[in-house]
Amino acid sequence: MRRREFIAALGGAAAWPLVAQGQTAMPVIGFLNSGSPGAATDQVEAFGQGLKENGFLIGQNVSLDFRWAEGRFDQLAGLATDLVSQKVAVIFAGGPPAAMAAKSATSTIPVVFTSGDDPVQIGLVASLGRPGGNVTGVSILLRETQAKRLEFLHELIPSASVIGLLAHSRSSNDDTEAAARSIGLQLYTATVAAENALAQAFTDFAAHRVDAVLLGSDPALAAWRRRIFALASSAGVPTVCETRGYAADGCLMTYGADVSDAYRQAATLVARIIKGEKPADLPVMQPTKFDLVINLKSAKALGLTVPPSLLARADEVIE
C-alpha cells in the first residue's frame, strides 16, 4: 500500500479494513491510543511494517480496529471496553493511560503496550522478564533519558542555569529534578492538567526567568505539543523534548528512543501472540534505537549557534 493511501485510510475510520461479509474471519487487532490519527501516522505505519515482517499483511490476513481518544483520557476506559466487546484477538495500547485502560477492561484478551513509564512501577506487569497475566509490551524508557536530554541542553546552552520543566499533573518528576541538580541546574516545574493551562505555565516560566523548557514525558503533552511550541516561540524560549516527532513540529532538540521503532517492536509481540504464544511468557522489550535530532530552523529563529561537536553527534539535523 502506498504511504498516501495508508495515511488516508487512518482518517477517522473506526475500523480499517473491514472484513467483507462472507469471507473467512481474520484476526482483528484492537488499536487503542490516547492521541489522534494525524499525530501518530508514522507510528501506525511502523506498526504495520512490524506486522509485515512477521507474516501479517493488513487487509489480507489481519485487520486493525482503531480507537482514538483524541487527547480525552477520560474516554479511554469506554474505548477499551468497546474493543473487548468486539472480541478482538489482541489489544495494542499506545502509551501508559491506554495500557492501563486496556488492562482494566480485560483479563483474558492479550494486551500489548508501549510505555514511557516503568511498566512494573505503574502495575502493568509483574516484572520485565516474566510479565505474568495477559499483558506485555515495549518499555520506551522516556523518563530514564531525561538526564541525557539535560546534558545535551547544557552543552547546547552552557549559560543556561534555570530550566523550566513542563509536566502533566499525574507525572512524577523526581528523576528529572535529581538529574538537574547533578549538573548544577535549577529546575522550576510548571504542572498542567489541561491544554488551557499551558499559557499560564509559560507566564510562570517568564516570571522565573527560565533559560529553556524541558517537556515532561506524558501522552497529554504530546497531544498538545503544537500549542506548546507556539507559546515557546512567542516567548523566545528554546525547548528540549523526548522524540523525533517533536523536532519536526518545532522543538529545538530531541533525544530519546525511536517511538516508531517501538511500535514496530510491539507489532512483533502482537504477531507472536496471534501465532499462539502467551503474553505472560513474552518478556517486555526494550528500545533498540535512540536518536538525537536538532532543529536548526528553530535554533536560527532563537538566535542560537549549535556547537559543531553536538551537530556531529546528531542522528538527524532539520534545516
CA-closest candidate to residue 66, choices 51, 39, 44, 97: 44
Q: What is the pLDDT of residue 148?
A: 87
Instruction: For each of the domains in the chain, give its residue range(s) and CATH number, in order of start.
Output: 3-141+258-289 (3.40.50.2300), 143-257+291-318 (3.40.50.2300)
Q: For residue 110, is the peptide bond before it cis, meaning its omega torsion is within 30 degrees of 0? A: no
For the segment 239-295, what is each residue's pLDDT rounded down to a tens digit? 999 888 888 889 999 998 888 899 999 999 999 999 999 999 999 999 878 889 999
Angle 105-110-116 from CA coordinates, rounded to 5°? 80
In angstroms, the CA 282 to CA 157 distance is 43
Global confidence as pTM: 0.77
CA-closest candidate to residue 102, choices 89, 94, 90, 111: 111
Please, are residues 311 and 289 in contact by the beta-carbon 8 Å criterion? no
CA-closest candidate to residue 217, choices 208, 226, 225, 229: 225
Q: What is the pLDDT of residue 15?
A: 38
Q: What is the pLDDT of residue 294?
A: 96
For the segment 31-62, what is each residue's pLDDT rounded down to a tens digit? 999 888 877 888 999 999 999 999 999 999 99
Q: What is the pLDDT of residue 295?
A: 95
In angstroms, the CA 54 to CA 15 distance is 22
- Residues of the chain where predicted confidence (pLDDT) is lower than 50: 1-23
